[in-house]
Amino acid sequence: MKKLIQFFVLIVAVSALLLWSIAKLNDSQGYSSGNTLTIYNWGDYIDPDLISLFTEETGISVIYETFDSNEAMMTKIQQGGTSYDIAVPSEYMIEKMIEEDLLLPIEHDKIPNLSNIDERFIDLPFDPENKYSVPYFWGTVGIVYNTAMLPGIEITSWNDLWDPTFKNEILLTDGAREVIGMGLNSLGYSLNDTNREHLLEAKSKLDLLTPNIKAIVGDEIKMLIANEEAAIGLVWSGDAADMMWENDNLDYVVPIEGSNLWFDNMVIPKTAKNIEAAHMFINFILDAEIAAINTEWVSYSTPNKEALAFMPEDMTEDERFYPPEELTEKLEVYENIGKWNLAYYNELFLEFKMHRK
């Protein structure tokens, strides 16, 4: 009998040890618990010193993970393997996450710094009354080009890119909506067009661009353009600003046919474990001086109007990155076009990439 009791005691002890080990493992993989905040954000999208400052001011440890596409972020949130307290999706994905009931409502009374946000970026169609999201950064999609490698040439239009002069000089960012969107805009169609004939027309036109395309790449596009490995790139405005910081020969333009006006907002997934800390962090990042520091580091455009006073004038007065309201009103925000239409965009983009080989 005594041996049997010792055996059960041993089983209980081993089980307790296993449970403790699993809890520690979960913590190390990003599961929120206790005084920890887990953030899921795009790469190079926050000044790392601010994370340290938040921990110093609040005593809350931050686990920080990154993604490289809205779709990758969405898949991981849906799988629920990791309990992120904050994520930073783009507008069309926020709309989709709301539809799929994946987000918690933001408690506005816990974020007094929300009053620092420019009214232009509040109450937008993808999240009326900002019930589920808070603005983080915004920008455009456009063309960056090297004026020294292309002397005497001014690019103003998507259609300029089809000029044979630019053979093997164009890098495209690896995004279906950006590239198919460029094809649609070049034909005068909406970025949110789901008409199959229009989409096939756009894909056919993109195929004609193939001789001018050097590569379709991810984040490395910033390094390649800055190092003059190619003269032209389809990029997000913040990436263009980074490149222009590295290379004075670069210029950025929003094409005359139109383009994408995008927003990345902070959200709290329903699986969040530290909701209180999530609100504290969002309020922290919306502080005017903190937002200014973050914007100078990230280089994208801030929606925080109070932060502009703490930033250099050559940054805030550059209309390539802070376009006037009359221009932004002409640009299009990506809409949630639905699963099947998005799959069709991805299919056409894959066919386009295969066409190049």
Q: What is the pLDDT of residues 187-227, one digit of tens each?
A: 999 999 999 999 999 999 999 999 999 999 988 999 999 99
Q: Is the pLDDT of residue 165 over 70?
A: yes
Binding residues: 92
256 φ/ψ angles, rounded to the nearest 5 degrees: -65, -25
Q: Do domains 33-137+264-317 and 139-261+325-356 have the same CATH topology?
A: yes
Kindly indicate the confidence band of residue 2, based on its pLDDT and cuts at 50, 70 and 90.
low
CATH 3.30.70.360 fits 33-137+264-317, yes or no: no
| Helix 48-58 and helix 288-298, axial crossing angle in degrees, nearest 10 | 150
pLDDT tens readout for residues 57-86: 999 999 999 998 888 899 999 988 789 999
Q: Is the pLDDT of residue 28 over 50?
A: no
| Helix 196-208 and helix 176-186, axial crossing angle in degrees, nearest 10 | 90
What is the per-residue pLDDT for 30?
A: 42
CATH no., domain 139-261+325-356: 3.40.190.10
Q: Is the pLDDT of residue 179 over 80?
A: yes
pLDDT tens readout for residues 232-255: 999 999 889 889 989 999 999 999
Kindly indicate the confidence band of residue 18, based on its pLDDT and cuts at 50, 70 and 90.
very low
pLDDT tens readout for residues 262-285: 999 999 999 999 999 999 999 999
CA atoms within 13 A on the CB side of 10: 6
CA distance to 14, 15, 23, per residue, from 9 (Å): 9, 10, 21
DSSP state of 61: E
What is the per-residue pLDDT for 13?
A: 54
Binding residues for spermidine: 92
d(CA 94, CA 197): 28
Q: Is the pLDDT of residue 6 over 90?
A: no
Domain residue ranges of the chain, discontinuous segments joined by +: 1-30, 33-137+264-317, 139-261+325-356
Closest CA to 219 of 250, 180, 175: 175
Backbone dihedral region for residue 300 (phi beyond 0: left; psi -120 to 50: alpha; all else: beta): beta
The stretch 47-60 carries a mean pLDDT of: 97
DSSP string over 244-291: HHH-TTEEEE--TT--BEEEEEEE-BTT-S-HHHHHHHHHHHTSHHHH
Kindly indicate the confidence band of residue 31, based on its pLDDT and cuts at 50, 70 and 90.
very low
Q: Is 198 exposed, middle or buried (0-12, 13-18, 19+ CB in 10 A)?
A: middle
Radius of gyration of the chain (CA): 23
